[in-house]
Each structure stands twice: as C-alpha cells, then as structure tokens.
C-alpha cells in the first residue's frame, strides 16, 4: 500500500480519482464547501449558494470539469434547495429514502427511478434493502463474527508500560490501528481474527449481495416499464475503517458483477439519466439520513444555540460584501478570511459532535472560535482598521479555499446558468 501511494499515485489520491473519472470508471460528485447542513441554513439562501458555489468551484479546479451531481451533506434536503443546485448547473442529487417516497405526488416507481424536481434537477433515492444489508452493524455484513473487531485495539489490551514509548506523550491511550481480535459474537471474550477466514466471508457476502440484488431487480423489472436502478450510497469510512474487510468485499463485488452483466451491471447516475431523460415530476419531502430521518441530530436542545449566531453572521457577511463591491488589498484579504471563518463555522460536524456527546468541548470551542474570528474581522472591515499581523496569523492557520470566495456571499447573486 505504501509503494502504491508513493510510487504509483505520487502521493496524490485526488488525481488518481480524477484519472479514473476521465476514463469513465467512476463518477465523482461535488458537495458543499464545508459539509454544511442545508436545512438549518435555509433562512439564508445566500449562505447556501456560497456553500454550493465554493464547493463546485473547488471541484472544477481539482477535476478539470464542471460537476454533474451534488452530494447534499447528510442527505439534508429542504424545499427549494434543488433550485439553488440548478442555478449552479447541477443535474442530479441523492436523497434519503423517504425524501422520495413521501414526495407529492407519490413516485410511481418509488426509489427505483429518479424523479424530477420542478427546477429540473433529478433526485435519486437511497434503496433501503441494499443499504441495510451492508450498513447495519447488527444485521448487515460488518457484524459477522469472522470480521476484525474494530473496538479492540492493543492500545487498551496491552500493559501501559509496554505501550508507553508509542503512546501520546501524556500517556493517553489512543487507537494504534493494531487490532488482533474478531467480532466473535456478543461477548467480551473475543477470539483472534483469522484473516483468511475473514476474506472468505467477504467473498461469500459479495456473492450474497449480488444474489439479492438480482432477485430484487428481477422483481422490479417485472412491474416497471423501464430498467430499475438501485442506489446504494454509504459513508466511505465504512470501508476499511469501521469494516476492515470492506474494501475486500468491494473488490469481490465489482469483479463478480462483471460476470453477470446480463442481469445486473454497475452504472453511474449520469449514465442512467442519459438513458432515461424523461422522469416523473414531484415535490420532494424534507429529509436527511440522520437519526429519525429529519433534523433531530443537528437541531436539538444541546446545539440549537449555534444557529442564531450562524444566521446573524451570514446576514452580516452579505452586508460586508455589498458595502465593498470592489475590494482590494488588505480589505480583500480580510473579506476572504471572513468568508473562510464563516463556512468553517457552518460545518455540520460541530453540531453533530455536540449532539452525540463525544467531543462536546472541542466542537463548542471550534464553533465559537470561528464565530469570534468572523465578528472581529467584520468589525475591523467596517471600521477600516484591519490588524494585518493578526490577519496574517489566522490566514496561515486556516487557508482553505485559497481563492476569492467573498464574492459568492453577495445577496441575490446567482451562480452559473444551467446552460453554462
């Protein structure tokens, strides 16, 4: 793996994926600048436009082409966001299952064909059967007894004196990645993982997945007047991180699918839309793939304090841009940094971490730091008294999106036209 990363890919996995896309082997979707959860920013369309525009602009710089698809962070959909995607030339997105099945009128084919929003953006729905079979740690493949146990690491299994040279200087036990046990079952007495057995299970599960999809497609094809599509999105961290054998499973799956092309084949969403350009039009339902399927994770009693500050900051950013339409020099730098601080504060991960109770203090500090930096920059811009040394310091710490991003916060500004 090290040689592949260093020699074959020259330490640049992004360009490796770009090459695969140029060969037509994969389709890479754009996404929001900082994984902002759109339903909670809906009161400020300008903030969402900026998230979309920065994300798509960065995508184009990296991959050398405009994106056709857009991944909504956490599959978070609210009415009207499809129009904002359309303004930026986006052709399709993906929703959680009930975002499609609860649409009005009811989709004729459920989640097994896309539906078009009134804006013209196509929406694909996540297939619950295939998702559950892979994603669920209890009922899905990752929980099999022969797979490596994620939660047992030598950092907690071995004597601290033995581990001391390899631990955090403060002596804190942190995961090393060396995990010798297998899932075994619902017991604390874990057995040693046998890689050969785990690999065989991955091969068996790949065959199982294909068998079930063939049965599913066979049934759907008998009641549909077009070829059904099964959309099965997963968090990338499932493969190799939570489920160590996940990449092995994918390897077997892709190779096995290639041998059953008469009944099942892999396809990109753009390819499907090229084949079926006319789709049912419906109004989608607000939804997400978070707990309970809506906004609970990102808006609850633990984290609701965040949003008034984000909304106020977004409104102030619009005013700053309007009052400095042709900014240059130090003011331009400050406006761009203010935009960076704002989009970093909008990242949905902070609210998620607070809600889950895992790293509450850290997430709270990061949120407040971003907002306080933004407010300080805003006041300095308004007063024409920018502290250049301090600005340089925070620019060096957080220089994400090293291009002029402030312009995308202009109120009522539209992105590229759909025909662009």
Q: Which residues are catalytic?
A: 74, 235
**DSSP per-residue letters across 292-332:** GGSSTTTSSTTTTTHHHHHHHHHHHHHHHHHH-TT--HHHH
Contact 184, 149 (CB under 8 A): yes
Nearest to 90 by CA among 145, 142, 53, 62: 53
Peptide bond preceding 105 in cis form (omega within 30 of 0): yes
Helix (H, G, I), strand (E, B) or coil at 6: helix
φ/ψ of residue 31, rounded to 5: -155, 180
User: CA neighbours within 13 Å on the CB side: how many for 410?
Assistant: 13
Q: Which helix (H) or strand (E) holds 278?
A: none
Which residues make Cβ contacts (< 8 Å) with residue 289, sequence separation at least 6?
74, 75, 96, 126
Q: What is the DSSP letter of 401?
A: S
Helix (H, G, I), strand (E, B) or coil at 271: helix
User: In this structure, what token pair is assigned to residue 12?
Assistant: 């640049």
Distance of alpha carbon 119 from alpha carbon 68, whole angstroms: 15
User: In this structure, what token pair is assigned to residue 4?
Assistant: 């592949």
Distance of alpha carbon 263 from alpha carbon 218, whole angstroms: 8
Distance of alpha carbon 244 from alpha carbon 194, whole angstroms: 13
CA distances from 328 to 153, 338, 407 (A): 53, 14, 12
User: In this structure, what token pair is assigned to residue 279?
Assistant: 């789709």
CA distances from 183 to 59, 192, 205 (A): 39, 9, 16
Q: Which helix (H) or strand (E) holds 70?
A: strand 69-71
Angle, helices 45-63 vs 329-345, to 10°: value is: 100
Nearest to 299 by CA among 52, 43, 51, 39: 39
């Amino acid at each position: 793996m090290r040689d592949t990363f260093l020699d074959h890919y020259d330490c640049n996995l992004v360009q490796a994926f770009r090459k695969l896309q140029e060969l037509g082997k994969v389709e890479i979707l754009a996404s929001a600048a900082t994984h902002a959860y759109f339903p909670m920013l809906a009161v400020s369309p300008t903030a969402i436009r900026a998230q979309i525009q920065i994300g798509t602009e960065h995508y184009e710089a990296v991959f050398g082409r405009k994106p056709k698809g857009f991944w909504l962070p956490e599959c978070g959909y609210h009415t009207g966001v499809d129009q904002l995607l359309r303004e930026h030339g986006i052709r399709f997105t993906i929703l959680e299952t009930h975002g499609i099945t609860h649409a009005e009128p009811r989709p004729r084919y459920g989640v097994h064909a896309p539906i078009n929003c009134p804006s013209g953006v196509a929406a694909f729905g996540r297939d619950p059967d295939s998702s559950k079979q892979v994603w669920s740690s209890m009922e899905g493949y990752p929980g099999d007894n022969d797979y490596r146990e994620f939660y047992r690491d030598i950092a907690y299994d071995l004597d601290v004196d033995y581990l001391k040279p390899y631990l955090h200087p403060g002596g804190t036990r942190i995961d090393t990645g060396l995990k010798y046990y297998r899932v075994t079952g619902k017991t604390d007495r874990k057995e040693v993982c046998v890689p050969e057995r785990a690999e065989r299970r991955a091969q068996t599960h790949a065959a199982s997945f294909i068998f079930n999809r063939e049965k599913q497609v066979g049934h759907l094809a008998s009641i549909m007047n077009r070829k059904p599509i099964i959309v099965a999105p997963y968090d990338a961290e499932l493969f190799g991180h939570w489920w160590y054998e996940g990449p092995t499973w994918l390897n077997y799956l892709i190779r096995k699918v290639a041998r059953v092309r008469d009944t099942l084949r892999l396809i990109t969403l753009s390819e499907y839309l090229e084949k079926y350009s006319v789709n049912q039009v419906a109004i989608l339902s607000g939804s997400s793939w978070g707990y309970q399927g809506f906004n609970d994770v990102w808006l609850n009693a633990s984290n609701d304090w965040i949003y008034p500050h984000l909304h106020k900051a977004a409104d102030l950013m619009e005013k700053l841009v309007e009052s400095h339409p042709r900014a240059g020099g130090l003011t331009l730098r400050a406006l761009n940094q203010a935009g960076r601080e704002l989009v970093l504060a909008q990242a949905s991960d902070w609210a998620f971490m607070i809600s889950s109770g895992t790293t509450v203090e850290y997430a709270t500090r990061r949120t407040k730091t971003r907002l306080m930096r933004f407010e300080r920059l805003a006041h300095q811009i308004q007063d024409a008294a920018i502290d250049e040394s301090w600005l340089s310091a925070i620019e060096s710490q957080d220089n994400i999106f090293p291009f002029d991003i402030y312009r995308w916060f202009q109120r009522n500004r539209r992105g590229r036209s759909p025909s662009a």
